[in-house]
Structure 1
Amino acid sequence: MPRCGTPGTATAEWVAASGRRDVCHLLHLTCQDESVLTTLLSLPSSTALDVNDEGGMLVLYDGTGVRQVNEIAPDGSWRALTDLGDSCRHAQFVPGSRSVIVEHDSGGNERGQLSILDLDEPGLPTMTPLVHDLDYLHHLIAAKPGRVLYTTNRRNRVDFDLIARELATGEDTVLYDGGGWVMAVSASPDDRWVVLCVASAPANSIQLLLVETATQTVTELTPADALNDQGQVSWLPDSSAIVVSSDADRDRKALRRYDLSTAAWSDVLVDDAHDLASWLSPDGEQLLVAVVDDGEVALAAHRLSDGSELARLDLPAGGCTALAFGTPDPVWSPDGSFAAFTYSSPITPPTVYRYVPASGEVIAVPAPDMPEVPKLTMPESLRVPSFDGEQVPVFVFRPTGPDLGSTVLHIHGGPEGASMRIWHPVIASLAAEGHTVIVPNVRGSACYGKRWYSLDDRQLRLDSVKDLAAIHAWLPTIGADQSRAVLWGGSYGGYMVLAGLAFQPELWAAGVDIVGIASLVTFLENTSDYRRATREREYGYLATDREFLETASPLSRVDDIRAPLFVIHGANDPRVPLSEAEQITAALEQRGVACELAVYPDEGHGLAKLKNRLDAYPRAFSFLRQHLATVE
């Protein structure tokens, strides 16, 4: 329900009283624009998850409005495997069987549970519980012949252990319980070893651990106290070495090899101007290499032995084929005959593709009954000078509807996330509404090098907020009206919205905060235990940095906020509790600042269900129409 005494939409009486012709123009557009928003939000997407021995694929598909697991048979036919009221998170085939393991949660609470499906069962397979304990998180790591690897925080709610469960007996074997947030695991082909990516001491850092599973002997492959990011671990087929994407000892991620027999690192492929990631083919001969370039990610095949390029994948330019945040990694078929991955761009919803090395073909596997995508435009890539001479990367989406003369800064979460050149229906809809949309990668963002993503750590937190002011000052250079500039963001982007309104109240005309942080102190006090242990490394520690955390919190400056605010939050959010939204809106209500709070009882950290997005976002658009119409 609307709060803070502000109507959700303008009434005819209010329009008449205002006497503003631009208000009437905006309201005339409302029905048409909300229809465009509905169309864009409702376009289905599909993402590749796994491939089996026969060439069948598992994909996540949201054509029903909630993301579910589907199977694509080798002949291209689709079959729905799940029909839950909540989104599925991951799924894998069990090799040598007709079974699938599915990870799913309830109401966006992120407490993943594992179930098993029998593909031989006709119709929609029954979901049989495999690893279920609703009080804890369980994440599917790998389905192996006869067993499944998963991580869980059920031991103490903070640390994640790696467990192997036998499918025949249900017996669990602990493979690692050495502590930490285990963010990714890669098991060797011979099952003797696993490599763990564990959140380490410095902010935004990942430590690599090599674990011998029989003895739980742990070898540190990278130091625990080093500012390094690691990812995309691939094993050679004989389990003798791994290939890792790592920025150890350099600014950009390179491809590095670690040989177990010599305990030595060597470089496979280095590009000092770009981050690289790779996925090794099952025969160990070639790497599928991702090159990150200013939000775009291209794929090419390289020879492992010398790093030489074999072929560039023929895909539409201007999008992402891997490493787009929230998109699964590419996956090779067990026989190496093809690789499945997901492609997305600002004008193309996520679509599954197949790459066939033998022929070099890249083949789209479109979702069934995919409707026509409205005509959209690609963004410009520009740089904005900030207060200290740094250059902030931004993508500029020009209006595709009648130009309203307003600008929306759409800020990503993280803070170490990044805005990539991916499908984002809200950004497309904002442009269709007539806004110029600025999508920045402020300092602290990933994919622009280690130096850039470290520039907002701890005591430097408010420097990223200063980047917003720099963008505001720069707006006239692209013909934008500074008086009609809006902030929109989710998660850490929601914090940035609130911080911009609180610390720069004279700059912004309105804000839309989605699952954002109002107080760094109460956020750290109330977030999930395992997240607090890691997020304090980024923001500061409650025990030693409370004064700074208070100073950097928008709630501490709430009396300065005067711009209208629309807030969206899920009641089950395990990352940023609902109390963050409630306290900022209560404080604004007390001061009579225009605001609305939209809470969804079946959502968590964001809106996963189409029915809720179709409710929340049109309300937010209407809120902006109303309040921008009153800007002189």
Structure 2
Amino acid sequence: MAADARNPLTGTGPGTQGAVPDGRERRHAPAPAGGARQGHAARLSLPGEGGAAVRPAPEPVLLTDTYAPHDVPQRLVAHGCWYPSADPGGRNVAFICDRTGVPQLWTGPVDGDEARLLDADPDPVTEVSWSPDGRWIAYTTAPGGGELTRVLCVRPDGTGRRLLAGGEPGASAYLGRWAPDGSAVAVTVTEPAPPGEIRTGPDGPVAAADLPAPAHTGDWAGRDGRAVLLGGAPLTVTSAVRETTVIHGPRTATAREHGPRALAVYLVDPEGAQAPELVASEAGAPTLRLCALSRDGRFALLRRGPRGNREALVVRRSDRTVTGAVRVADGDPWIGGFAPDGRTVWLRSDHDREFAALLAVRLGPRGEWLGQWPAAARPDCDLELLTLRRDGLGAVLSWNVRGVSELEITELPGEVPEGGVTVRPAAEVPAGASRGVPLPHEVVTRVAATADPDAPVVALSGSRRRPGVWWLPHGTALRTPWSSRDEDAVPDAGHPPVRPFPLRPVARDGLPLGGWYYRAPGRAPGEPAPCVLHLHGGPEDQERPVLQTLYHELLGRGLDVFAPDVRGSSGYGRSFVDADLGTRRFAAIEDVAACAAHAVVAGLADPQRLAVMGRSYGGYLTMASLVWHPELFRTGVAVCGMSDLTTFFAGTEPWIAESAAHKYGHPERDQDLLRALSPMSRVDALRVPVLAVHGEHDTNVPVGESRQFVRAARERGLEAELLLLRQEGHDFRRADNRRLFRRTAADWIQRHLTSRPVA
């Protein structure tokens, strides 16, 4: 069936822009466009036991087929392809592609031109997984571009599309792994939980404190145990949200009251022939994802916990007993899997280490934790991606080496010791053969195993190309024909993409920092340039040498870009990630000034023409830099940033708040600290024009955070605007919105850096 009326490909005409009465807030409507612990006996909760009332488990709901042929209208030449998942034969790939202007689900052969759009609905796709038996492709979408997601399945020929989870108003769901035989796929759903009671055991309710404690809490969160919001209040039912108004002096912010909520993991049969099976549930969980099932189905590997406190749980499915847990690294949620016999778990973990490594965990017959040891490690870089081979006897490892990926295909040890050894030195572990794979571009974002152990499929990004999917048969990197060509990276551009070079600033307290500097084309050597400091989000994200169309836009205006990694960024070890916790965040704000000074002293940047810009946490850091260093920058662009940490905690999603409490401070116990860290507390120091940009459906950082900062700037007589992007959440996914954002931001910065400074 061709795309229906909801498909943006069938629309015509440009997008529209409106304005609030004062003409300074612009709202855009997008154009139609195509410490490890052993021996746990904790039991995960089972909603419904003990008389608790819960909603029914997910059931598949048939939807109208919306697949389309490959020759869709308004096809973009410069498009990205990412998140590949291979079919059982390894010659066809399901992937995400934005060639219609929206990230959607496509399939195509690794060595053929014919790519096909499987779901023409306009909702952006975020995850993809092809079933092991080849019968289904499961994927996650974000309706309206917002933060609440749902899980669907479709046949590889585009028929049989059905909704598996997340279809109820206010509900959300995301993907887990398939059962090894392809009979069911795991989904995590939001679900009610009885207040104050998160699970039930043979002798009645079991208290929350009896669940296994996190494997690692970190210095900041560890002051009084788990890093939780409001003392461990359960998560919430979104449909029960009731908006209230919280007054903070002359400004207001939206807060919300919620009912209790849990996260639950089910195995769902896409055919609907078998009832969904509950695997685990936990109230108050910020994340809970099923990452693997053993081949015999006896054990499940779960990932849970907030940022900075992730851990892996091995669960015995027969009685839902947690047999062991260990800290795992942040970043990619697919943390590992089981060996073929189910007695060894391979994990990407930074347990007791500065950098994440390949960790082997040996299990007993009933899943008991016998021992663990590093099987592959590097002393100065993280194992960033771990993908097990289809036969479970090998793996593909992607290492993050100072921001650049190195890919390694390795055989896993066939036999591992079973003694009561908790940790063995890496030198004592039998090593398998491994080989490096040369890559044509700098960064690997995903690895998909195929039937051929020596021919994985990888998603690559680079400083001079759009994201694409590559096939690596026996070490030869072959671009899939449906991925855009390198020469089409920026069509109709006046200059090719710029390859950045690394800079290594030093913080004012002596901490080494990092980052990448982009020099505008045609700039004479030694000529100080107008420069934009761009600050990434997270805070645990990392600047990587990949094509950023925003940077390309700025460089085309004659503006240099310096993208630093201040403390709190990943890629430099756990200590660096934790170096901004709590009161140490003031030092991260100082790092921004140190990075600007480094670019100036190096003769790259003009000290009279500096701007600061960033998204999410980078948006917060932008606002903080403008009020902590008011004389340093000529202007700033804050994107989806937090302006007041108190109102942020009041308005964000509860699971976001739980992670944020670990990073910034607890909203009850640390009110003074949160107030001192908030840009709004120092807004009187603001001296320069500011542009804020926000997605209208952002519930991670509510749009009120941008509104109150812009309003405060205007009240102080400064030029300030808010660009509100329609049908976007915390991430901007639609091509027309991304284009409007980068052009608006570049226009703003160019105007303020090239005009005569105010005396």
Query: Please, which of 495, 514, 517 is the counterpart of residue 639 of structure 2?
Result: 514
The corresponding residue for 2:324 is 220
Query: Please, which of 280, 288, 291 is the counterpart of residue 399 of structure 2?
Result: 291
Shift of the 221–161 alpha-carbon distance from structure 1 to 2, 3 Å rule, reads same
Distance 1:492 1:140 in 2: 26
Query: Please, which of 506, 517, 533 is the counterpart of residue 396 of structure 1?
Result: 517
What does the per-residue CA deviation read over 1:221-271, in whole Å, with 9 as the maximum and x for residues that have no partner? 2279x9999963132122221111211112111211001126200121121
The one-letter amino acid paired with 1:147 is A
Contact 2:469 2:479 in 1 (8 A): yes
Shift of the 613–401 alpha-carbon distance from structure 1 to 2, 3 Å rule, reads farther
The corresponding residue for 1:365 is 480
The corresponding residue for 1:539 is 664
- Pairing 1:189–2:295 present: yes
The alignment's TM-score, normalised by the length of structure 1, stands at 0.87
Q: CA deviation at 1:368?
A: 5.4
Deviates more, 1:337-346 or 1:308-317: 308-317
Distance 2:331 2:448 in 1: 25
SS of 2:174's partner is: strand
Distance 1:189 1:349 in 2: 37
Distance 1:227 1:63 in 2: 30
- Pairing 1:164–2:267 present: yes
* Structure with the bigger percentage of helix: 1
SS of 1:489's partner is: strand
The corresponding residue for 2:504 is 383
Distance 2:80 2:541 in 1: 21
Shift of the 253–517 alpha-carbon distance from structure 1 to 2, 3 Å rule, reads same
The one-letter amino acid paired with 1:492 is Y
Contact 1:207 1:230 in 2 (8 A): no
The one-letter amino acid paired with 2:318 is A
Distance 2:730 2:178 in 1: 27
Query: Please, which of 222, 237, 243 is the counterpart of residue 340 of structure 2?
Result: 237
Contact 2:410 2:435 in 1 (8 A): yes
Distance 1:42 1:419 in 2: 26
Shift of the 172–5 alpha-carbon distance from structure 1 to 2, 3 Å rule, reads same
Contact 2:142 2:150 in 1 (8 A): yes
Distance 1:160 1:108 in 2: 22
Query: Please, which of 374, 381, 385 is the counterpart of residue 267 of structure 1?
Result: 374
SS of 2:408's partner is: strand
5+ long unaligned stretches in structure 2 = 1-17, 27-75, 193-234, 237-260, 414-429, 491-495
Q: CA deviation at 1:453?
A: 0.4
Runs of 4+ in 1 over 4 A off after TM superposition: 1-9, 226-231, 368-371, 401-404
Query: Please, which of 298, 301, 304 is the counterpart of residue 198 of structure 1?
Result: 304
Shift of the 338–218 alpha-carbon distance from structure 1 to 2, 3 Å rule, reads same
Shift of the 170–565 alpha-carbon distance from structure 1 to 2, 3 Å rule, reads farther
Query: Please, which of 536, 544, 559 is the counterpart of residue 435 of structure 1?
Result: 559
Distance 1:539 1:106 in 2: 30
- Pairing 1:424–2:545 present: no
Matched ranges for 1:560-599 at <5 A: 560-599=685-724
Q: CA deviation at 1:425?
A: 1.2
Q: How much identity, in percent, do the aligned residues show?
A: 25
Shift of the 230–150 alpha-carbon distance from structure 1 to 2, 3 Å rule, reads closer
What does the per-residue CA deviation read over 1:378-412, in whole Å, with 9 as the maximum and x for residues that have no partner? 11112112110111102111112567821111110
SS of 1:249's partner is: coil
Distance 1:42 1:110 in 2: 28
Distance 1:81 1:631 in 2: 53
- Pairing 1:352–2:469 present: yes
The corresponding residue for 2:62 is none
Distance 2:275 2:481 in 1: 40
Matched ranges for 1:20-39 at <5 A: none
The corresponding residue for 1:446 is 570
The corresponding residue for 1:331 is 448
Q: CA deviation at 1:47?
A: 0.9
The corresponding residue for 2:387 is 279
The corresponding residue for 2:87 is 52
The alignment's TM-score, normalised by the length of structure 2, stands at 0.73
The one-letter amino acid paired with 2:443 is C
Distance 2:25 2:701 in 1: 25
The corresponding residue for 2:256 is none
What does the per-residue CA deviation read over 1:284-325, in whole Å, with 9 as the maximum and x for residues that have no partner? 3332121211111110112322435532112125x1113xxx
- Pairing 1:340–2:376 present: no
Q: Root-mean-square deviation (CA), in Å? A: 2.6
Q: CA deviation at 1:447?
A: 1.0
What does the per-residue CA deviation read over 1:34-53, in whole Å, with 9 as the maximum and x for residues that have no partner? xxxxxxx9831101331112
Shift of the 290–118 alpha-carbon distance from structure 1 to 2, 3 Å rule, reads closer
Shift of the 227–73 alpha-carbon distance from structure 1 to 2, 3 Å rule, reads closer
Give the number of aligned pairs.
586
The corresponding residue for 2:535 is 411
The corresponding residue for 1:612 is 737
